[in-house]
Structure 1
Amino acid sequence: MAPTLNLVGAGHVGRVLGRLFAASGAFTVQDVLTRSAGSAREAVAFIGAGRACSEVAAMRPAQVWMLAVGDDAIAPSCAALAAAQPLAGAVVFHCSGAKASGELQAASDAGALAASVHPVRSFADPDAVAAAFAGTFCGIEGDAAALALLEPAFEAIGARLVHIDPAAKTVYHAAAVFASNYLVTVLDAALRAYQAAGVPEAVARELARPLALETVANVFRIGPEAALSGPVARGDLATVARQQEAVSHWDEATGRLYEALLAPTADLARRKRGG
């Protein structure tokens, strides 16, 4: 028999993982608790297994508990779980990229094994993610005995596991923000700057597209040092100064962004030159 799994929180992440665990046989999905009875029933329907519950006290004991709740809800949800359920010997894990397994201290105090497993991808479309989850990287850390149970379960659904330092969990999550969120912010600045020069928005996107796509491809093909080009890489400080002044005159906030990027780009240029 596969280990029993209870879900506390079944939004997009919880639903996808629940469906995959049930379909693979890695876990026997048992009870599902969300913010309302209706959403719990919807989650059970999506997962294709389990029983909807309206409160943590109504859930049956399980060998594994997954807390797929918001970051700020992890610790209080864990405390409520520890107060209502026998956890000695059970595995309790959460799915946050920003918080470490230490957020589950209440479960640890109750005798549980704690861990965190963070799938590195967007879950905006749960059906699509569930259908193409194989190959997804997951940052994992926690008690060794918890990982010994969780690792084969996640491998069974196609996850690629990466062990991370729990003390650096916030920096780990910030890496994803740099690679995704802030990249969008920088590209938005580029598109707005093109438009400020009189380029229509649709044309601006086509002007930026090859630069952005080729640069990203180069970063992952040859590394950031070799991929860096432009006036900072060439040491053309006069051009850099003119650009910063012009951008600041056009849009003060974007000028500050340009200035903030100068020092780390100059450091990258020095690494490129080997100095």
Structure 2
Amino acid sequence: MAPALNLIGAGHVGRVFGRLWAEQGSFRIQQVLTRSAASAQQAVDFIGAGSVATAYAHLQPAAVHVLAVGDDQIAAASEALVRAVPLKDSIVFHCSGALASDQLRAAREAGALVASVHPIRSFADPAAVAAQFSGTFCGIEGDDGALAVLTPALQAIGAQPVTINASAKTVYHAAAVFASNYLVTVLDAALRAYQAAGIPEPVARQLAQPLASESMANVFRLGAAAALSGPIARGDLATVARQQQAVSQWDANTGALYQSLVGPTTALAARKQQK
């Protein structure tokens, strides 16, 4: 029989892992505990396996416990789990991208092996993610014994586990913010700058799209240094200074954004010259 798994917290990530492991058979979904019996039942229905637990005290021992709760609840959930069930030689892991496995200190002190598993993708539509999970990268770190079990279980559902440095977990999570959230902010600055020059917003998007798309394609094909172009890459600092002044006069916040990017871009240009 497959090892039993308890799921504490059943948001989109927990539900997807539960369904995929239930279907694949690496783990046997045993119990699901959430803030309400109704939400736990919805998770059980989505997963297609398991039973509802209405309190930590009702949890049964399991080989694996998944804490799919909010970041601010991980430590408290770990402590509650310690009080509820024996954890010696079991595995406890959370799914946060921002926090490391040291948040599970209480579980580790109770004899559990701990880890974190962070799937790197959007979970807005859990049913769609479950259907298309194959190839999803997962940042993993934690105790060797836990990873020895979780790595093949992740690979069995099509994930691509990537080991990360636990001490750099917050920087790792910031990487996704740079690649997604802040990229949108920079593109918004470009669209607003075009509009400041009298170009209608729909046309501004058409102007920016090939520049952005080609730059992104070059980064992923050639690397960031080789993909860099523009005045800093050419050493045209006079143009950079004029742009900085003009943008700051147009919009102070966007001018500050422009200035903040000069230093990192200059360093990137130096790396390009070294290649």
Shorter-chain TM range is: over 0.9
Q: Please list the CA deviations of residues 198-225 of structure 1 after superposition, one character each: whole Å capped at 9, or x if unmatched.
A: 1111111111111101000000111111
Q: Is 2:151 the partner of 1:156?
A: no
1:146 alignment partner, SS class: helix
Match of 1:28 in 2: 28
Match of 1:44 in 2: 44
What's the CA shift for 1:273? 1.2
In structure 2, what residue type is equivalent to 1:223? Answer: G
Q: Is 2:102 the partner of 1:118?
A: no
Match of 2:193 in 1: 193
2:61 alignment partner, SS class: coil
What's the CA shift for 1:84? 1.3
What's the CA shift for 1:156? 0.6
In structure 1, what residue type is equivalent to 2:267? Answer: D
RMSD across aligned C-alpha pairs, in angstroms?
0.9
Match of 2:170 in 1: 170
Aligned mates of 1:171, 1:259 — CA distance in 2? 22
1:138 alignment partner, SS class: strand
1:115 alignment partner, SS class: strand
Instruction: Give the fraction of aligned pairs with identical amino acids, expressed as a percent.
Output: 68
What's the CA shift for 1:243? 0.8
In structure 2, what residue type is equivalent to 1:135? Answer: G
Match of 1:130 in 2: 130
- Is the CA contact 2:21–2:157 (under 8 Å) kept in the aligned structure 1? yes
Match of 2:83 in 1: 83
2:188 alignment partner, SS class: helix
Aligned mates of 2:221, 2:57 — CA distance in 1? 52
In structure 2, what residue type is equivalent to 1:126? Answer: P
Match of 2:270 in 1: 270
**Structure 1 unaligned spans of 5+:** none
- TM-score of the pair, normalised by structure 1: 0.98
Q: Please list the CA deviations of residues 5-43 of structure 1 after superposition, one character each: whole Å capped at 9, or x if unmatched.
A: 000010010011111010111110010011211111111
Q: Please list the CA deviations of residues 161-181 of structure 1 after superposition, one character each: whole Å capped at 9, or x if unmatched.
A: 111111111111111111111
Aligned mates of 1:70, 1:214 — CA distance in 2? 37
Greater than 6 Å deviation, 4+ residue runs: none
1:139 alignment partner, SS class: strand
Match of 1:12 in 2: 12
What's the CA shift for 1:182? 0.9
**Structure 2 unaligned spans of 5+:** none
Aligned mates of 2:256, 2:85 — CA distance in 1? 52
In structure 1, what residue type is equivalent to 2:74? Answer: I
Match of 2:147 in 1: 147
What's the CA shift for 1:142? 0.9
1:135 alignment partner, SS class: coil
- Is the CA contact 2:59–2:84 (under 8 Å) kept in the aligned structure 1? no
2:5 alignment partner, SS class: strand
In structure 2, what residue type is equivalent to 1:232? Answer: I
Deviates more, 1:214-223 or 1:198-207: 198-207
Aligned mates of 2:115, 2:71 — CA distance in 1? 14
Q: Please list the CA deviations of residues 22-70 of structure 1 after superposition, one character each: whole Å capped at 9, or x if unmatched.
A: 0111110010011211111111111111111221111111110000111
Match of 1:222 in 2: 222
Match of 1:261 in 2: 261
In structure 1, what residue type is equivalent to 2:257? Answer: L
Match of 1:241 in 2: 241
Aligned mates of 1:57, 1:174 — CA distance in 2? 37
Paired positions, count? 275
Aligned mates of 1:40, 1:93 — CA distance in 2? 19
